[in-house]
Amino acid sequence: MVTQSKPCRIGVMGGTFDPIHYGHLVTAEVVRGEFDIDLVLFVPSGVPPHKDPRQVSSKEHRYLMTVFATLTNPFFEVSRVDIDREGETYTIDTLRDLRKLYGDEAELFFITGADAIAEIMDWKNAAELVKLAEFVAATRPGYQFDRKLQEWFEQHGKKLHLLQVPAMAISSTDIRRRVQAQKSIRYFVPEAVEHYIRKNSLYLEHHTHSTADNNEISS
């Protein structure tokens, strides 16, 4: 259990979490162990850029599902830093706010999927991003990064960490489709999240999401 008032090594999992699933949770736990992380912060996005807001569940639904999914892990917490901020959610704003909150002494590790990280050079204020945090890209076994991307990180004095996670095969997109088709999502998401989805009749209409900055492990 975390006893420090301000953890020194903090994992940051930003994403839509629509819904959060075991791929996210397994990834967070693997990263926590591999990088000796004191605390993993799950940060649901407020207004994801490049996504039709009509096709995204409300931020409070996504926040509550994330809370329910992480309750039993004392090393996981959920932050409202993005959903309480007005305007579109960009990773640069997330990391700036967390840097102010935890101070310069904290080491931030931003955790996301390999497909998202492959586009980081096009993210808002990309050069500043790598100054604020280390980046951990989770991927399925066998994935390799383009050398150009690795060189870009090296030019900014950082190493891009690649971590293979078998649970990456699970995706929020597939879960939404399964709900719409009235198929089982048991063992795709925590039981509390499954009950929340059913109770609130989420994903019964067609959802199509595009990849965007501050994307989750698998949208």
Distance CA 1, CA 38 (A): 9
What residues make up the domain containing 74? Answer: 9-199
Q: pTM score, two decimals?
A: 0.89
**pLDDT score recorded for residue 2:** 46
Asked if the structure places residue 106 within a domain, the reply is: yes
pLDDT tens per residue, range 92-127? 999 999 999 999 999 999 999 988 899 999 999 999
Instruction: Find the angle CA(78)-CA(80)-CA(82) to the nearest 5 degrees.
Output: 120
Q: Where residue 142 falls among pLDDT bands split at 50, 70, 90? A: confident
**pLDDT score recorded for residue 159:** 86
Q: Return the sign of the alpha-carbon dihedral for residues 69, 35, 168, 19.
A: positive
Asked if the structure places residue 43 within a domain, the reply is: yes
Asked if the structure places residue 44 within a domain, the reply is: yes
Asked if the structure places residue 205 within a domain, the reply is: no
**pLDDT score recorded for residue 214:** 47
Asked if the structure places residue 154 within a domain, the reply is: yes
Q: What is the CATH number of the domain that holds 41?
A: 3.40.50.620
Helix then strand then coil, % of the chain, to nearest 5: 40, 15, 45
**Any idea which of 2-11, 62-71, 79-88, 188-197 has the lowest mean pLDDT?**
2-11
Q: Within a 10 A sphere around the Cβ of 174, how many other Cβ atoms? A: 15
Instruction: Find the angle CA(90)-CA(30)-CA(150) to the nearest 5 degrees.
Output: 55
Asked if the structure places residue 67 within a domain, the reply is: yes
**pLDDT score recorded for residue 7:** 65
pLDDT averaged over every residue in the chain? 89
Q: Within a 10 A sphere around the Cβ of 33, how many other Cβ atoms? A: 10
Asked if the structure places residue 111 within a domain, the reply is: yes
> Per-residue pLDDT averaged across 153-159, rounded?
91
| Dihedral over alpha carbons 100, 48, 186, 182 (to 10 degrees) | 160
Concatenated DSSP letters of 106-163 = SEEEEEEEHHHHTTGGGSTTHHHHHHH-EEEEEE-TT----HHHHHHHHHTT--EEEE
* pLDDT over 70 percentage in the chain: 90
> Per-residue pLDDT averaged across 128-140, rounded?
93
Count the alpha carbons within 13 Å of 155 in the hemisphere toward its beta carbon.
Answer: 10
Strands of 160-164's sheet, edge to edge? 76-78, 39-44, 9-15, 107-113, 134-139, 160-164
Q: Quote the number of domains for the chain.
A: 1
Asked if the structure places residue 37 within a domain, the reply is: yes
> Per-residue pLDDT averaged across 39-62, rounded?
93
